[in-house]
Chain A
């Protein structure tokens, strides 16, 4: 089955431009997604866009969607009762191991896959999670209680210092990495943030995985538009989560 059909059951505004949209299956729901895996959401007359699965119950699918001005503007305005198509889940998500101390960096709408990771980590023995959310100011932070209630240590950074650490999320991460030991650093957010986080991981010798964004159109590895340039890897099937090793090994022609 290509499109699984869902009806919008709620749409809650979280910040000025980020919404939580909940869908309810009207036929067979998509199979279970792991944190970091994504789906294609088809909004009739608008188009498709890739979205990370934020929460998934038997019949329900939750997304956290940011308005970037294109089709996502329509997605944040979906209203109760509207019908949509969903295909997926696609790709490969974050790896979760026992007895690991994780540092998670979420920038804006990069939060959903990492919040899902926090949820999965809850029931994994020996895992502790520090979840960082970065934004320009306090009004743009969201779902912090959700992360806390799932057992994560939660810290925030804001550019203007209106809440938490004043500065970039990667600066906060640098401070934490020099104060304590983490086994793995996982990140999702704008490319610049991902690259900075990757640099930190290298410097501190910490295992890294990041969820990237490219031009996803087919989502099944045929159109080639989501290529991670120069790596031979397709974001839609080999990603969207890549480890430092995968991105570096490939740079040298792998």
Chain B
């Protein structure tokens, strides 16, 4: 059974990709995810300079959701370039997530990683603060447009994906802004802002007090976001992200219009084995349903569009 797929001009052996920020800060970890069956990886979000991130506690998990505030730690783009080169040795796509606290930072980081061989750039548009604005960066369509334009012109012909936030009243507006500005594809979604307390200790469970919700609770929200984007943008490549644990979760995304999915939080419970299990279960599903390939399944006309 052929489960390969295309997302824009990226050719993937399966529709299961490692999501940004999940042990994606070092080449040997990216290689491990690829060797474990991920068809491509998205790196940790890379900034221009070194960032320490937040001190623990940075992550909390319940059966129904996870919440994190890691604070985007990293060694800065110049020390990361070597990791991109090394992660590419298996010949599978390495997509580099770029961040910035200014438009200039986004585009200079993107230019550097594109030159070092990134197969694609994913713009993390959910940083809390940016130069001159108090609002969340990625929820302002005008800022999304300006960042995407600058990044696109900085990376030449490398595909650019805009990773969108669900913390907005209209994700279609953000997606349209990104695509009009030249984005080749979209990734939906990043985490949903949230907060959790430990009632015995009477303490927040994150040192940053609030953070981003991922995992099972995010899943139906993320699936809807993909659907809304697909309706507004019938031909744009879309990665669905949020709470993929079982193949049924991935099918939700495909039925809502995603071309492929990224897998994050479930790795904490299922380990790297999750990629091979998802692939096997997808093949079983397609065979049982009589599809000739994954491509045939995703291209089927759906009445909800």
Contact = CB atoms under 8 A, between A and B. Distances in A.
A189 B302 CA distance: 60
A232 interface: yes
Contact of A225 (B32, B73, B267): B73
B57 A231 contact: no
Contacts of B165: none
Given A223-B59, A237-B271, 17 more contacts: A3-B201, A26-B200, A42-B201, A47-B57, A49-B56, A84-B201, A85-B203, A217-B58, A218-B68, A221-B271, A222-B21, A222-B59, A222-B264, A224-B44, A230-B27, A232-B31, A233-B28
Contacts of A84: 201
A252 B29 CA distance: 14
B255 interface: no
Contacts of B21: 222-223
A220 B116 CA distance: 31
Interface of B: 21-29, 31-32, 44, 53, 55-62, 68, 70, 73, 198, 200-203, 205, 207, 264-265, 267-268, 271
Interface in A20-72: 26-27, 40, 42, 44-45, 47-49, 71
Nearest to A45: B203
Binding site of A, secondary structure by majority: helix, strand, loop or mixed?
loop
A238 to B, nearest CB: 10
A233 B36 CA distance: 13
B184 to A, nearest CB: 27
Contact of A224 (B29, B62, B200): B29
Contacts of A231: 28
B201 A85 contact: yes
B23 A227 contact: yes
Contacts of B198: 3, 42, 85
A217 B22 contact: no
